[in-house]
């Protein structure tokens, strides 16, 4: 446990601190001593080989960054198997290109590199190799990347690292992450920082040239106006959308343990889902029915037992809540296995704390109705549809 805390809870912050702080120190120290252009020219012979490794690593990093910024787009893309196969095959080929390019670069160096640069290339090869091994051994890695690694990264950004998300990953994936972090921490102390950040050295000259051009400045102002409008429209579209809402609960109930590790069916606890409009929060007796037999003791269980003994209701924080002008019935969707719980609530069996996975807006519901064919068909699979199934009729959900 202590090792996992050091590796997945503290080490990422240390790596980022070294990357940012070391780069700043290197920038100011080198610019005062010999000039950035001279330092870049001196380091160029070390990395003058094939540009395949630059393109490969650059595209792979862009893909990782894109998945981090818009994971829901990634999961939506992967819902079609052909598209997911195309995406992962492209990423695999880019990784192979970067790996082969680094091997050629290492062969061309022939001992001319400083020790730090040599170790950096070995770390990059390790990270790429373990990433390619993970892609080969574990299918559909892009989807569980969005469901496992990205929540860990986001927990780091919230300064509340959830080490359980990373510590339980396969060894090749953990090696891929740790070697990549170590390479990032070492980068500022090598000459590779000049090869990778070369365009930054020419930035002042390019900015001066742009300022001298009236057309360029007008184009930049127009681009800034369009970008601002884009973000404002996106912000207004998110008003009232609670996607990603993940409040703390009075008792830290873990769906990952109950639904994931012990495979407890959703409707064992939410038994009203098949019969009622609301799935309902299970009463404390449902919890005690199991735990009184298992004799499980923990701080959270003590909270539950105290609430039961005092007959005090537990005030759970509601997560999924539709507006008052929307009618939604769980029974119409769940009955007979029509719609899996995960379609709307996400992979709850992997969530330590439940969050709102989907936007739950009208367009999202209508897209699902269209995909399922309930928009126009009165029959499906030879079975008469329930007369209250929504389709695209406004009055079914708003009346």
Q: For residue range 161-183, list pLDDT tens digits in order.
A: 878 777 777 888 888 889 989 98
118 contacts: CB under 8 Å, gap ≥ 6: 109
pTM for the whole structure: 0.50
What is the per-residue pLDDT for 255? 92
What pLDDT digit, counting tens, does each position of 54-111 carry? Answer: 777 778 888 888 777 777 777 777 777 787 788 888 888 888 888 888 887 777 666 6
The number of beta carbons lying within 10 Å of the beta carbon of residue 171 is: 10
What pLDDT digit, counting tens, does each position of 15-24 carry? Answer: 889 888 887 7
Average pLDDT over residues 218-238: 78
What is the per-residue pLDDT for 55? 76
CA neighbor of 53 nearest in space, from 91, 87, 104, 88: 104
Kindly tell me if the per-residue pLDDT of 41 is higher than 70: no
**Lowest-confidence region among 54-68, 313-327, 384-398:** 384-398
DSSP assignment of 128-175: HHHHHHHHHHSTTHHHHIIIIIHHHHHHHHTT---HHHHHTS-HHHHH
What pLDDT digit, counting tens, does each position of 271-291 carry? Answer: 899 889 998 888 888 888 888
Average pLDDT over residues 322-335: 88
What is the per-residue pLDDT for 43? 53
Which of 3.40.50.2000, 1.20.950.20, 1.10.3720.10, 3.30.230.10 would CATH assign to domain 2-201?
A: 1.20.950.20
Integer Cα distance of 15 and 18 in angstroms: 5
């Amino acid at each position: 446990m202590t090792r996992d805390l050091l590796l997945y809870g503290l080490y990422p912050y240390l790596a980022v601190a070294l990357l940012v702080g070391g780069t700043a120190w290197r920038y100011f120290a080198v610019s005062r001593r010999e000039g950035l252009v001279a330092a870049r020219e001196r380091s160029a012979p070390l990395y003058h080989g094939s540009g395949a490794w630059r393109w490969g690593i650059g595209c792979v990093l862009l893909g990782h960054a894109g998945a981090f910024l818009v994971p829901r787009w990634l999961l939506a893309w992967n819902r079609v198997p052909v598209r997911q196969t195309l995406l992962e095959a492209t990423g695999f080929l880019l990784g192979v290109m970067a790996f082969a390019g680094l091997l050629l670069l290492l062969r061309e160096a022939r001992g001319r590199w400083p020790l730090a640069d040599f170790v950096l290339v070995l770390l990059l090869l390790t990270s790429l190799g373990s990433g390619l091994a993970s892609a080969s051994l574990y299918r559909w890695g892009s989807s569980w990347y969005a469901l496992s690694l990205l929540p860990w990264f986001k927990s780091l950004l919230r300064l509340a690292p959830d080490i359980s998300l990373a510590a339980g990953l396969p060894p090749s994936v953990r090696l891929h992450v740790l070697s990549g972090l170590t390479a990032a921490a070492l980068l500022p102390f090598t000459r590779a920082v000049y090869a990778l950040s070369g365009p930054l050295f020419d930035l002042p000259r390019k900015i001066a040239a742009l300022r001298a051009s009236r057309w360029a400045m007008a184009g930049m102002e127009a681009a800034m106006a369009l970008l601002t409008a884009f973000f404002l429209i996106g912000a207004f579209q998110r008003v009232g959308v609670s996607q990603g809402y993940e409040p703390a609960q009075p008792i830290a109930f873990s769906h990952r343990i109950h639904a994931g590790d012990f495979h407890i069916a959703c409707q064992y606890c939410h038994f009203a889902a098949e019969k009622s409009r609301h799935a309902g929060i299970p009463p404390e007796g449902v919890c005690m029915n199991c735990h009184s037999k298992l004799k499980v003791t923990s701080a959270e269980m003590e909270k539950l037992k105290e609430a039961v003994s005092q007959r005090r209701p537990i005030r759970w924080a509601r997560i999924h809540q539709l507006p008052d002008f929307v009618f939604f019935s769980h029974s119409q969707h769940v009955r007979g296995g029509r719609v899996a719980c995960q379609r709307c609530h996400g992979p709850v069996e992997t969530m330590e704390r439940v969050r709102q996975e989907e936007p739950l807006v009208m367009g999202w519901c209508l897209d699902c109705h269209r995909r399922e064919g309930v928009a126009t068909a009165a029959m499906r699979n030879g079975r008469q549809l329930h007369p209250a199934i929504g389709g695209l009729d406004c009055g079914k959900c708003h009346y």
